[in-house]
């Protein structure tokens, strides 16, 4: 019954999602959750300096970014319809999934980077059937490059731009060239600013390489979190099977969008497991494609009772993790 309620699009659904959002974020302000960064990327370091040392201010910004991401995730689907239905379920899944790791419900580099990632995906999808050279991929390159100046590992998602060109536009040398230029433009500007201000360019280079290749601090998963991650992995298996089975029933535009989102998911998993500097903060980026996959499955699954049970269990696990985290501090 819970899932059936959230499938609706009446105003009360938005209100309930807002209440759930407040429920999983309010405790963070009392727990004093914060994430320290010794050598942040230039734009994230500037953001920290701008916000100052007050934890509650950083937490408000983090919550605001999360709420914005949830809104943009819903807006992106309502514009491009790759789930084929207007729904707020992706926003709810995103809020719940990112709450699985309450330690990362605080301002961290991946949060603003995720915003730039959503806008980059939006620009790529808008290039569908656009005549002539689509400079959307140049824009996407600038967005991802800028986002990587908050969170260095976002630069690996530059691969998604070239994958997007192949999926949405077919191979186009001009678009590939302008995409590369877009990707490096934020770095050219940053090095230019450092040069004009007479800052040490070698230090900037070392800062960037350190953020990309240094070993991230270890993270210890609680037993309940491991159970939750195994559970969401099982749900994802059902999601991918369903997408493969009903792919042909979707419009071409929807199929291309879902394929692009799928590649984003696999790149995120690859970065987490194979890039030493990546850690659990990447959940903010992983939550974007995952929210669409899970929402698509829950909405169109023919086994209604089974999907209700899956969603209810997931919902209760998230609430349990949140409760245990607060009580355990």
Q: What is the pLDDT of residue 275?
A: 94
Q: Model confidence over 205-235: pLDDT tens digits?
A: 999 999 999 988 777 788 888 888 888 888 8
Residue with tokens 């960064």: 37
User: Within 13 Å and on the Cβ side, how many CA atoms surround 99?
Assistant: 30
Give the mean pLDDT of 47-63: 88
pLDDT at 36: 67
Q: What is the DSSP letter of 157?
A: G
What is the band of 31 on the pLDDT scale with cuts at 50, 70, 90?
low
Domain with 144, as residue range(s), is 2-327
Specify whether the CB–CB gap between 242 and 300 falls below 8 A: yes
186 vs 146: CA distance, rounded Å: 6
Q: Which helix (H) or strand (E) holds 173?
A: helix 173-196
pLDDT number for residue 33: 63
The Cα 5–Cα 2 span in angstroms is 5
pLDDT value at residue 301 = 81
Cβ neighbours of residue 58 under 8 Å, at least 6 residues apart? 34, 48, 51, 106, 107
Output the CA–CA distances (angstroms, integers) from residue 299 to 14, 97, 128, 306, in the order listed: 17, 17, 25, 12
For residues 229-244, average pLDDT = 86
Q: Give me the number of domains the chain comprises.
A: 1
Of residues 59 and 33, the one with the higher pLDDT is: 59
């Amino acid at each position: 019954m819970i899932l059936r309620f959230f499938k609706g699009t009446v105003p009360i659904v938005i209100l309930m999602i807002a209440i759930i959002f407040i429920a999983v974020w309010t405790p963070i302000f009392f727990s004093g959750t914060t994430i320290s960064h010794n050598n942040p990327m230039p734009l994230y370091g500037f953001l920290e300096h701008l916000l100052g040392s007050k934890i509650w201010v950083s937490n408000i910004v983090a919550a605001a970014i999360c709420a914005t991401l949830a809104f943009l995730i819903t807006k992106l689907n309502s514009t491009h319809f790759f789930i084929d239905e207007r729904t707020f379920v992706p926003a709810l899944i995103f809020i719940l999934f990112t709450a699985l790791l309450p330690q990362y419900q605080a301002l961290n580099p991946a949060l603003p980077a995720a915003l730039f990632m959503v806008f980059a995906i939006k620009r790529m999808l808008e290039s569908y059937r656009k005549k002539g050279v689509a400079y959307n991929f140049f824009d996407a390159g600038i967005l991802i490059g800028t986002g990587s100046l908050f969170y260095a590992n976002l630069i690996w998602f530059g691969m998604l731009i070239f994958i997007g060109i192949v999926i949405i536009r077919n191979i186009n040398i001009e678009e590939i060239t302008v995409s590369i230029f877009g990707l490096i433009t934020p770095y050219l500007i940053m090095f230019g600013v450092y040069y004009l201000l007479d800052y040490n360019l070698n230090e900037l280079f070392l800062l960037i390489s350190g953020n990309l290749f240094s070993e991230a601090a270890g993270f210890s998963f609680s037993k309940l979190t491991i159970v939750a991650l195994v559970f969401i992995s099982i749900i994802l298996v059902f999601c991918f099977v369903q997408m493969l089975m009903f792919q042909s029933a979707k419009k071409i535009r929807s199929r291309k969008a879902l394929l692009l989102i799928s590649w984003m998911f696999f790149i995120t998993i690859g970065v987490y497991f194979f890039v030493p500097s990546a850690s659990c903060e990447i959940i903010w980026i992983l939550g974007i494609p995952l929210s669409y996959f899970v929402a698509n499955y829950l909405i169109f699954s023919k086994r209604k009772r089974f999907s209700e049970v899956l969603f209810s269990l997931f919902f209760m696990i998230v609430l349990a993790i949140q409760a245990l985290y607060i009580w355990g501090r």
